Chains A and B, each alone.
Chain A
C-alpha cells in the first residue's frame, strides 16, 4: 500500500524493531543468542503484519535536551504526585479548569510525547488534541484563580519547549524560537 521500502522508512522502523527485540528479551529475562534471533523474528513479523502509520515532521534526538527533559520530568512526577496525594487527604472543595493551549510543534511524534508527558504528570490530564489547529485541551485538577490558570498554561508550553529541544526538527525549533522571541517582546512592551 505504501510502495517500496525507502531508506527513510527503514530508518523510522529500526528503533521500533530494536525496542520490540528488547521487550522480548526482557520478558524472557535472559540474554542469549536464541532469544535474540527469535525476538528479531517476532519483531519483523509484528512490524510487517501491523505496520504503523507514517508520521509527519521528522525527529532527531539531542542528548542534552533529552537529559534536561528527563530530569525535569522525574522531578515533576514526584512533586505533583505529592500534591495530588495532599489534595486527596485535605478537606475542602477545589476548583478544576479545562484550558486549551496553542502548541507550536508540527510533528506527530512530539505532539504524542507532549500529550503523554502531560498526562503522566499528576494534576493535568489531556482531554483532546486538535491536530489541525495544533492545540491541546487539558483538564487541571486544582486551580486557585485565573492567575494560577495562566501559570499552568505557561507550564504546558515549557514542557513542550523542553520536548522540542530534545526531539524536535529544525522547523520546530525555529517556530519555538520565533514564538519565544515574540513573547519576550510582548512582555517588554507591557513592562514600561
Chain B
C-alpha cells in the first residue's frame, strides 16, 4: 500500500516539476508579455496542484495535507486575478506584438479607458476626455486666460 502511494506521489511530483520547467521555457521563448503570461501562470496552476497532491500523499498527517491543499486552493483563486491585472496593464501600455495577432477585437477601447488610472471604482462616471486633455496641454498663449499651474 505504501509503495503504491509512493509511486503515485512520485509521478505527480515529476509531472509537476516538468510543468515548472516548461513554464520557464515558455517564459524565455514566447514573444510578448501576454504570451509569457500564459506560460508563466497557467502550467503553474496545474504544476503546483500536482506537486501539492504529491507532497500531501507523501507527508503523513492530515494537518499537513490540508495545509498543502489550502496552498493549491489559494493558487487557483489568486493566479487569475494577478494574471488579469498584469495583462490588462500590458495591453494598455502596448506591450503586445500586434503583428502576431490574428484577430484583435479589443483594439477599439471605449473612450473611458483613455485616462485609466486604476483606482476608480467600477461604477465611477467616465471622465470627459477633452477636459482631461485640456488640463494636460498647458495653454500659454494669452496672459488673461488665468495663470498656468507651474
Contact = CB atoms under 8 A, between A and B. Distances in A.
A149 B101 CA distance: 11
Interface residues of A, number: 43
Given A120-B80, A131-B122, A149-B102, A96 B25 contact: no
Given A80-B42, A97-B104, 17 more contacts: A28-B63, A29-B63, A29-B64, A77-B45, A87-B26, A88-B26, A88-B30, A88-B43, A98-B101, A100-B106, A116-B77, A122-B42, A125-B34, A127-B91, A139-B38, A143-B102, A143-B103
Interface string A118-143: 01111101111011000001010101
B66 A97 contact: no
Interface residues on B, range: 35 or more
Contacts of A123: 38, 42
Contacts, number: 127
A123 B37 CA distance: 10
A141 B96 CA distance: 12
Contact of A115 (B45, B84, B107, B110): B84
6 contacts: A26-B70, A98-B103, A120-B42, A125-B38, A127-B84, A146-B102
Interface in A45-92: 77-78, 80-81, 84-85, 87-89
A124 to B, nearest CB: 8
Interface string A144-161: 011001000000000000
A67 to B, nearest CB: 18
B9 interface: no
Given A88-B39, A98-B106, A141-B35, A30 B45 contact: no
Interface of A: 23, 26-30, 77-78, 80-81, 84-85, 87-89, 93-100, 115-116, 119-123, 125-128, 130-131, 137, 139, 141, 143, 145-146, 149
Contacts of A115: 80, 84
Nearest to B23: A88
B17 interface: no
B103 A27 contact: no
B122 A122 contact: no
Most chain A Cβ neighbours within 10 Å, of B29, B45, B46, B101? B46
Contact of B70 (A27, A77, A116, A137): A27
B88 interface: yes
